[in-house]
Amino acid sequence: MNCIIIIEMGTAAVKVFAFDLSGNLISSAKGHYPTFHEQTDHSEQDPEQMFITMLYILKNLLIEKIYPKKYTVSCICFGSSMHSLLAVDKDGVPLGNAITWADNRGKKEAADLKASALGEEIYKATGTPIHPMSSLIKIAWMKNNEPEKFGLAKKFMPMKSYIIQQLTGACVIDYSIASATGLMNIHNLAWDQAALDFAGITPEELPALHPVFYSGVTLKKEYQRVLKLSPTVKILIGSSDGCLATLGAGVWGNNMATITIEDSGAFRIIGDRIIEDPKQQIFNYLLTEKHIITGGPTSNGGVIFNWFTKQFGDFPKAFDIDQSMEMLIQEAATVEVGSGGLIFLPFLHGERAPIWNPNARGCYFGVNIRHERKHFIRATIEGILFEMYSIGRTLEKHRHIEGLSINGNFASIPLCTQMIADIFNKPVSTLSHGDSIGRGAFLLSATEMGIYPSLEEASKTVAMHQTYYPKPENHQVYAQYFKVFESLITKVADEFDIISDLQQRYS
Amino acid sequence: MNQLILQQGLSKELAHFPHILEFAHKKNNTIQLNSFSSNVADCICLYYILEGKFTWIIDSQEHTLYPGDFAMVLPGQCIGGQSSIMNIGALFWIKISTEDNGRLLLGKWSGLTKKEKVSVNQILLINKEQHVLKLKEAHALMHSLQAELQNEEVGFYTRANQLLDELFVLISRQFIRQNNSRRDFPQTFLKLEHALRQDLAHQWTVEEMATLIGMGTTAFTEKAKNYSGFSPLNYLINIRIAEATKLLKRNEVNITDIALNTGFYSSQHFSTTFKKLTGYTPTEFRKNKTTDQ
Name the 3-class secondary structure at A271.
strand
Residue type, A235: I
Partners of A297 in beta bridges:
A266
- Count of residues in chain B: 293
Measure CB to CB from residue A318 to each of B182, B250, B276 and give the nearest one: B182
| Contact with chain B for residue A451, Cβ under 8 A | no
- C-alpha distances out from residue A246 to A10, A146, A252, Å: 16, 37, 9
In the CATH scheme, what is the code of domain A2-238? 3.30.420.40
Q: How many CB atoms lie within 10 A of CB B115?
A: 12
Provide the percentage of residues in chain A whose pLDDT is more than 90.
Answer: 97
Q: How many CB atoms lie within 10 A of CB B129?
A: 11
Measure CB to CB from residue B279 to each of A56, A91, A222 and give the nearest one: A222
Residues 6+ apart with CB under 8 A from B271: B255, B259, B281, B282, B283
Q: What is the pLDDT of residue B100?
A: 86
Q: What is the pLDDT of residue B293?
A: 37
Mean pLDDT, rounded, of chain A: 96
| Contact with chain A for residue B156, Cβ under 8 A | no
- Per residue in A412-421, pLDDT tens? 999 999 999 9
User: Would you say the CATH fold of B181-293 matches that of B4-179?
Assistant: no
| Contact with chain A for residue B188, Cβ under 8 A | yes
In the CATH scheme, what is the code of domain B181-293? 1.10.10.60
Q: Is residue A343 a contact partner of residue A383, using CB atoms and an 8 Å limit?
A: yes
Residues 6+ apart with CB under 8 A from B213: B176, B180, B188, B189, B191, B192, B220
Tell me which residue of A304, A32, A316 sits closest to B182, measured CA to CA.
A316
Q: Which residue of A has its CA nearest to B251?
A: A93
Most B-contacting residue of A52, A59, A167, A219 (CB-CB within 10 A), to test interface? A52
Phi and psi at residue A403, to the nearest 5°: -150, 165
Most A-contacting residue of B176, B181, B183, B218 (CB-CB within 10 A), to test interface? B183
CATH superfamily of B4-179: Jelly Rolls (2.60.120.10)
Quick check: B184 and A310 CB within 8 A?
yes
B206–chain A nearest CA distance, Å: 18
Name the 3-class secondary structure at A153.
coil
Measure CB to CB from residue A55 to each of B227, B278, B293 and give the nearest one: B278
Domain residue limits, chain B? 4-179, 181-293
∠ Cα B37 B39 B40 (to 5°) = 165
Measure CB to CB from residue A52 to each of B241, B284, B291 and give the nearest one: B241
pLDDT in tens, chain B (293 residues): 468 999 999 999 999 999 999 999 999 999 989 999 999 999 999 999 999 999 999 999 999 999 999 999 999 999 999 999 999 999 999 999 999 887 889 999 999 999 999 999 999 998 899 999 999 999 999 999 999 999 999 999 999 999 999 999 999 999 988 877 789 999 999 999 999 999 999 999 999 999 999 999 999 999 999 999 999 999 999 999 999 999 999 888 999 999 999 999 999 999 999 999 999 999 999 987 644 43
Top CATH class, A250-507:
alpha beta
Q: Is residue B171 a contact partner of residue B135, using CB atoms and an 8 Å limit?
A: yes
Phi and psi at residue B231, to the nearest 5°: -70, 155
Q: What is the pLDDT of residue B104?
A: 87
**Is pLDDT of A3 > 50?**
yes
Q: How many CB atoms lie within 10 A of CB B149?
A: 22
| Domain span(s) for CATH 3.30.420.40 in chain A | 2-238, 250-507
Q: What is the pLDDT of residue B291?
A: 45
d(CA B102, CA B7): 20
Q: Which residues of B touch A169 (CB under 8 A)?
A: 290-293
Instruction: Tell me the DSSP string of B102-165.
Output: TTBSS-TT--S-HHHHHHHHHHHHHTTTT-EEE-TTHHHHHHHHHHHHHH--TTHHHHHHHHHH
Phi and psi at residue B193, to the nearest 5°: -55, -40
Tell me which residue of A238, A287, A217, A260 sits closest to A5, measured CA to CA.
A238
d(CA B195, CA A34): 13
Q: What is the pLDDT of residue A318?
A: 87
Question: DSSP state, A207?
Answer: P
Q: What is the pLDDT of residue B289?
A: 64
Q: Is residue A334 a contact partner of residue A430, using CB atoms and an 8 Å limit?
A: no
Rg, chain A, Cα only: 22
- C-alpha distances out from residue B287 to A11, A91, A390, A465, Å: 31, 11, 54, 53
Q: Is residue A360 a contact partner of residue A347, using CB atoms and an 8 Å limit?
A: yes
Name the 3-class secondary structure at A47.
helix
Measure CB to CB from residue B245 to each of A48, A91, A225 and give the nearest one: A48
Instruction: Tell me the DSSP string of B190-233.
Output: HHHHHHHHHTTTS---HHHHHHHTT--HHHHHHHHHHHHSS-HH
Least confident of A172-186, A219-233, B91-105: B91-105
| Contact with chain A for residue B115, Cβ under 8 A | no
- Per residue in A230-284, pLDDT tens? 999 999 999 999 999 999 999 987 799 999 999 999 999 999 999 999 999 999 9
- E strands, A323-386, where? 343-346, 362-365
- Per residue in A360-383, pLDDT tens? 999 999 999 999 999 999 999 999
| Contact with chain B for residue A133, Cβ under 8 A | no
- Per residue in A31-40, pLDDT tens? 999 999 988 8
